Structure 1
Amino acid sequence: MNEKMNYITPSGFALLRAEYQRLFNDERPRLVETIAWAASNGDRSENADYIYGKRRLREIDSRLRFLADRMDRAEVVDPRTLSGDRVVFGATITISNDQDQTFVYQIVGEDEINVPAGKISWKSPVASSLLGKQVGDEVVVQKPGGEEVLVVEKLEFK
């Protein structure tokens, strides 16, 4: 996989687009109105609404540029169109460790990470060690607490 690409699932891309549209169509126009109103109140040097508004506008514009860049570089990969017997981006995997704990993860892009929901980045130590593996394969993952042996139990594309 190309390290510079922004691999993302369709649902992850939809989240980026929704955030961009919310900021661009809702928050930014409201804030511009607030700033214009605050500027019309006279002295801007001690005008908290104006100062905060300008600062927030810079934050929103920065986030919009970031989101636009991420979407421009996005390579959307739909897991439902994938198949095979190897772990790849978009796959949902069931793994177990040597303490008989079982975990289910979907390997997703950096913009859609949500560990409590079972979505891990393809660049994470766990996912990167599992890419290319098959059901039954064991991998050793370096974690802050030491090494952990993981076994691929199940592989799905959904």
Structure 2
Amino acid sequence: MKGRNMTRWRDPAKDPRQEPKSHLITAEGAERLRGILDHLSRVKRPALSTKVGEAAALGDRSENADYTYNKKELNRVIARIRYLTKRLDELQVVDRLPADTSRVYFGAFVTLEDDNGEAMTLRIVGHDETDTAKRWISIDAPLAKALLGKEEEDEVTVAAPGGETTYLITEIRYREPGTK
């Protein structure tokens, strides 16, 4: 039987979506999440509630596309508010530099050089802060796990889709918490 509610069965022991996420976040990441939660709670949810009320007052809800759309959007916003509230309660904000800034730890900006001599700089952040455009990777990512605890001039080998890749750490730096 096929249908839109049917999904592929996954072994829970091997499903990467079931792996526990780290509960670390930078101070600026926590502030951004609080800002999103505040915007959703104070601006978006009341506006959508008003729209749903106005659309419901027009009469027949079964054929009222405005009502249906805004109700779905309101439910999505409420679910997001609930998720962010729960997630912010369980997060641990890292608001200080590590004792040893010569090694790679949470919040580090790491410059890597591959075998071809191409350099890339990435930052190790929490799961909720990942941003591929900025090259901010989760501390739970395989590359980040391989980098943790390493020093400059160390080589790191990581399994990639195209095979194993080796990187040389050329620079490690940290941003003082609270600065942008």
TM-score range normalised by the length of the shorter chain: over 0.9
1:61-100 aligned within 5 A:
61-78=78-95, 81-84=97-100, 85-100=102-117
How much has 1:129 moved relative to structure 2? 0.7
CA distance in 2, matches of 1:20, 1:107: 24
Aligned to 1:152: 169
Q: What is the one-letter code of the residue matched to 2:97? A: T
Instruction: Give the one of 37, 41, 49 matched to 1:32.
Output: 49
Normalised to the residue count of structure 2, the TM-score between the two structures is 0.82
How much has 1:26 moved relative to structure 2? 0.5
Deviations along 1:38-93, one digit per CA (max 9) or x if unpaired, are: 11111111111111111111101111111112211111113x53241221111111
Deviations along 1:111-130, one digit per CA (max 9) or x if unpaired, are: 11112212111111211110
CA distance in 2, matches of 1:25, 1:157: 34
1:16-27 aligned within 5 A:
16-27=33-44
Question: Does the 8 A contact of 1:5 with 1:73 survive in 2?
Answer: no
How much has 1:4 moved relative to structure 2? 4.7
CA distance in 2, matches of 1:62, 1:6: 20
Tell whether 2:68 aligns with 1:51: yes
Question: Does the 8 A contact of 2:22 with 2:139 survive in 1?
Answer: no
CA distance in 2, matches of 1:155, 1:83: 14
CA distance in 2, matches of 1:72, 1:106: 24
Q: What is the one-letter code of the residue matched to 2:144? A: A
Task: List, as ranges, runs of 4+ consecutive aligned residues in structure 1 with deviation greater than 3 Å.
Answer: none
What SS does structure 1 have at the residue aligned with 2:133?
A: helix
Question: Does the 8 A contact of 2:26 with 2:125 survive in 1?
Answer: yes
CA distance in 2, matches of 1:101, 1:20: 39
CA distance in 1, matches of 2:98, 2:160: 29
Identity %: 39
Question: Does the 8 A contact of 2:124 with 2:144 survive in 1?
Answer: yes
Normalised to the residue count of structure 1, the TM-score between the two structures is 0.92
Q: What is the one-letter code of the residue matched to 2:141? A: S
Q: What is the one-letter code of the residue matched to 2:64? A: N
1:123-138 aligned within 5 A:
123-138=140-155
CA distance in 2, matches of 1:4, 1:31: 32
Q: Give the gaps of 5 or more residues in structure 1.
A: none
Question: Does the 8 A contact of 2:126 with 2:139 survive in 1?
Answer: yes
CA distance in 1, matches of 2:150, 2:86: 32
CA distance in 1, matches of 2:99, 2:161: 33
Tell whether 2:122 aligns with 1:102: no
